[in-house]
Structure formats: structure tokens, C-alpha cells
Amino acid sequence: MISLEKISEQLGTTDPWVENRGAYWLAATELNVRDVARVMNEVKARFVTITAYQLPDEDGFRLEYHWDLDGRLLGFAFPVSGNSIDSIYDLCEGVDWIEREVHEGFAVDFLGREYEPLLLREGETPGVNLREVSK
């Protein structure tokens, strides 16, 4: 079983992993989501999901990416400023639907990918923040 320290080494960070309420978190702010996805592929971790959080006071969003590594849930949180973040679809096929869902529900744009017709709802315009619309 690969150690978490080894993963930190591959990511080029010395920040510690923190186990917190069901997941091991690496809160290294300098990490790039594509670098993380590459390392997760190398260690044969399985992509689980992305959870999007809308931050208060127009601070944008926080996206939490999760991978499973031999039963351990690894978490990486990325702030999203300006409503866009790099897509990892070309690195991880399993991310397709959840990137589309976050795009359709929160208007977060995943750069470097194309969107097929809407996944979860009707309408012509993709990328609408449903929480703002429903207010």
C-alpha cells in the first residue's frame, strides 16, 4: 500500500496530510488540479467525485476533489476564482459527468473541454448557477 508521504513527495509538497471526518486532506494551496490528477493516475487511485461549494460574499467557489486509494479517501480542495478551473477530463475519464453537473448547476467553467448537451436539466443555456436562479 503506497504511503501518503510518498504521494506528497510526488506532488512536490511537504505539507502534512490531515485526517478529518472521513477523508485524508492535503491542503497545499500551491497545488494544481491537473498535477494532482496525474499523480492520482500514477498511484492508481480511483476518482470518486467533485463537490462544489458556493462561498459567501461573492468569493467564488470551492471544489473538493476526492480519490479512493485502497479504501482511503483522499481529498483536495481548490478555490475557484473567476468561475473557471482546468478540466481533468483528458486525464481522468470518470470525471466527465460530475464536471458537467457542476458546470450546469453552479456555472463553473472547466477549461479545456467541450460540453455535450445538458446532462441534468432542460434548456438551451449551459452553465447557469441554479442557486442564483432559484432565489
86 closest CA partner among 47, 54, 113? 113
Q: Which stretch binds another protein (CB under 8 A): 9-17, 30-38, 46-54, 78-86?
A: 46-54
For another protein, the closer CB: 32 or 120? 120
- Judged by CB under 8 A, the residue of 51, 83, 84, 129 near another protein is 51
Which helix (H) or strand (E) segment holds residue 4: the answer is helix 4-11
| Contact between residue 43 and residue 26 where contact means Cβ atoms under 8 Å apart | no
Q: How far is the CB of 25 from another protein (least distance, A)?
A: 9
Q: Is 94 in the site for another protein (CB under 8 A)?
A: yes
Strands (DSSP E) contained in the chain are: 17-20, 23-26, 46-54, 61-69, 72-80, 84-86, 109-111
Q: Is 52 in the site for another protein (CB under 8 A)?
A: yes
- Judged by CB under 8 A, the residue of 6, 9, 32, 46 near another protein is 46
CA 32 vs. chain centroid, Å, equals 10
- Which residues make up the interface to another protein (CB under 8 A)? 20-23, 44, 46-49, 51-53, 64, 66, 68, 70-73, 75, 92-94, 96-98, 116-122, 130-131, 134
